Amino acid sequence: MRTIKLLLCLLVPAMSFAQLAPQDEHYQMIMAKDSLLFELSFNQCQNDVLQDLISEDFEFYHDQGGITKGKEAFIQSIDKNICNFPGRKSRRELVAGSTKIYPLYQNDGTLYGLLQQGEHKFYFSMNGDPEQKGAIALFTHLWIKEGENWMLQRSYSYDHKPQQ
């Protein structure tokens, strides 16, 4: 009996930190939000979608561009540096199979957050020329449940390097 209790004490915490399977509803929900964030906003400049995705106290940490604090500051940054950069068109592509999502629980077992990690590639074209490879980088997103909605509260984009 003592052995069973010991095994349970060791296994239950380990299981609670396991990443979510791609079939999990929370995994699929975060992937849908990732698509809205990048496909619609970053790639197509439909920045109105950001209002329902990003927390008011959002913070973005970029290893080359510094810190952006606040939802409106981030939206303005995307608008200025991605969507209205003269002659430049940017595109982000998620590296297939790179996404891992981990649940975050309160002490009482309540799910309060989801940590998304992955790798993405960037491409750009200048003045209508053919698209070129940009950087490849890692990212980590912290999604927090605010009421009934999952909002992006923190974003980290790091380890940028040229694509091979």
Residue ranges and CATH numbers for the domains of the chain are: 23-162 (3.10.450.50)
For residue 33, give the nearest of 144, 163, 147 by alpha carbon.
144
Residue for token pair 């490849």: 136
- Could you tell me how far CA 1 lies from the centroid of its own chain? 44
SS3 20: coil
CB 88 within 8 A of CB 129: no
Quick: pLDDT tens for 3-48: 555 444 444 444 445 888 888 999 999 999 999 999 999 999 999 9
As a whole number of angstroms, the distance between CA 59 and CA 70 comes to 6
Tens-digit pLDDT profile for residues 118-145: 999 999 999 999 999 999 999 999 999 9
pLDDT in tens, 83-96: 998 899 999 999 99
What is the pLDDT averaged over residues 94-120? 97
- Residue 91's H or E segment, with its range, is strand 88-94
